[in-house]
Chains A and B, each alone.
Chain A
Amino acid sequence: MSSTPQAPSARARLQVCGLHKRYGTVTALAGVDLRIDAGEFVALLGPNGAGKSTLYQILSGLFHADQGDVRLCGHAVSRAPTRALAHLGLVFQEPTLDLDLSVAANLSFHAGLHGLGRARARRRIREELERAGLWEQRRTRCRALSGGNRRKVELARALLHEPDVLALDECTVGLDVASRADIIEHVRALCRDRGVAVLWATHLVDEAEGAQRIVVLHRGRVLAEGDAAALTRAGGASSLSEAFLALTDQRRSPAGSPA
């Protein structure tokens, strides 16, 4: 076992311990710790290039960390990826639908990859599409869907295997206000009603505002953590967005800081 700053906790759904990652000379993550329990909605707030995408790539097993580890429901992604990933639902920043297949075909493809049996897959696809209001469009090719509906299909897909952890990476980019609100509301309900642990990465302060906990990531480090009121106080500001700017600007000062 590697030495980790925090011992694995039984209640934690997602636990990130001392995560480091470098690309050549660029440090993407410089020791990130993060823990999300069941039913928690945690916003990962950071400007572009803060290390959010790198964190997602490591927690989804696409990359290995140089140091530290990520546990999903107690299973380390680096050592037991198949067991860990079974607990994870992902919505990527980039679109990942097969546009030439129907909505239902995209979903059953995913259900198969996650080992859902035929009956369960059918029931889950119906439940998720009805919840997303897209059941009538199940035979539509994804190419014919609007951007907002494509995202809703991807969210429905990420939920098919009833994951304990849902990780969304800037998933509202390019969506109109109504679609954005729909998706946020749906994800909040998942935390509340089903106890899903949610990691919601964004660079938009207003999306983070209502989160139970906001983690501010900047230059690969966690700068601050807390709810909107606590962060506003910590930044000595009158609003979260001012606090966010103040917090991240501190490290941008020309005097320079150790990266």
Chain B
Amino acid sequence: MSAARAWRALMAVARREIVRFSQQRARLLSAVVRPSLWLLVFAPGFAGLAAVSSGPPYQGVALTYQAYIVPGLLGMVLLFNGMQSSLSMVYDREMGIMRLLLTAPLPRWYLLLCKLAAGTLLSVLQAYAFLIVCWLAGVGLPWVGWLSVLPALLLGGLMLGAMGLLLSVYVRQLENFAGAMNFVIFPMFFLSTALYPLAVKTAHHASVIAWLARINPFEYAVTLIRFALYGQVDGPAALAVAGCLAVFFALAVLGYDPQRGMVRRIRR
């Protein structure tokens, strides 16, 4: 596979994802409306109840509750779009496009990587659209954060997209997507520091929740974004996200191996 061939395949996959995304106005709209509701409706009401920490990365910053939940909501944008990539794989399977992809003269892992890269590009674009909403809403975020958050969004988006790819090996039909929402998106979102610091949670509940949050890949993506938004790097979170990315992607490649589950199902 030459570099030119690899690039053309990546462009073909990315162009298709972008065209499909732009055809789905509702998806475009909901990607911005969903986190905006949390920011503009939930946050003002909840602000008085939650004691947000002034620990790292917030030292020396006048922190509002709205500013606190922005990283979690950016994570939510990535998480939702990661699941959408999963949906797009299931759609491809139902439409027969999966056959076309799997019989293209390209290594299978590379095709999956193209899908993942295209999905992540959409994730990051949506995250920036939401950052514009934050700015319009007057949430005080450091300007340098707009740039320094980019690597964190890319890494987090890749990891959550790879999780979506892995999920698509097991989600058989489009209808099951609602189930994936309930069993994946909401638990991951709530069992994290997206809405309030973990210290608050552990004060009231058994350490179970804290423990669950510690094994939640989404939690590390949120932490990574939280620090990156203030121009800092949280090393352990970055490692955890990169590690999850590697594991999820490797498992997804195995899942799309011929002979194994996935291709068997497209025989139907």
Contact = CB atoms under 8 A, between A and B. Distances in A.
A90 B96 CA distance: 13
Contacts of A109: 12-13, 15-16
Interface stretch (B65-73, B98-106, B121-129, B191-199): B98-106
Interface in A85-138: 85-86, 88, 90, 92, 94-101, 105, 108-117
Q: Which of A60, A90, A112, A116 has the most CB of B within 10 A?
A: A112
Given A100-B23, A112-B9, A116-B8, A61 B103 contact: yes
B25 interface: no
Contacts of B178: none
B258 A114 contact: no
Contacts of B106: 82, 113
Contacts of B101: 113
A179 interface: no
Contacts of B11: 112
B204 interface: no
A64 interface: yes
B214 interface: no
Contact of B5 (A84, A100, A108, A115): A115
B1 interface: yes
B104 A114 contact: yes
B258 A63 contact: yes
Given A85-B105, A96-B99, A98-B97, A64 B16 contact: no
Interface range on chain B (Cβ under 8 Å from partner): 20 to 34
A101 B104 contact: no
Contacts of A57: 267
Contacts of B208: none
Contact of A112 (B1, B13, B107): B13
A86 B99 contact: no
B12 A62 contact: no
B6 to A, nearest CB: 8
Given A83-B105, A86-B105, A112-B11, A94 B20 contact: no
B263 A98 contact: no
Contacts of B9: 112-113, 115
Interface in B1-46: 1-2, 4-5, 8-9, 11-13, 15-16, 19-20, 23
Contact of B100 (A63, A64, A82, A96): A96
A85 B8 contact: no
B8 A117 contact: yes
B203 interface: no
A256 B60 CA distance: 86
A62 B95 contact: no
Interface in A54-83: 57, 60-64, 81-83
B100 A110 contact: yes
Contact of B258 (A61, A85, A92, A98): A61
B98 to A, nearest CB: 8
A111 B12 contact: yes
B104 A113 contact: yes
Q: Which of B4, B5, B12 has the most CB of A within 10 A?
A: B12
A82 B105 contact: yes
B125 to A, nearest CB: 20
Contact of A62 (B1, B96, B263): B263
Contacts of B19: 101, 105
B99 A62 contact: yes
Nearest to A58: B258
Nearest to B259: A64
B104 A85 contact: yes
Given A64-B259, A108-B12, 6 more contacts: A53-B267, A62-B258, A85-B104, A97-B96, A101-B19, A115-B2
6 contacts: A82-B105, A83-B105, A96-B100, A101-B16, A113-B106, A115-B8
The 4 closest A-B pairs by CB, nearest first: A112-B12, A115-B5, A96-B96, A113-B104
Interface of B: 1-2, 4-5, 8-9, 11-13, 15-16, 19-20, 23, 95-97, 99-107, 258-259, 263, 266-267
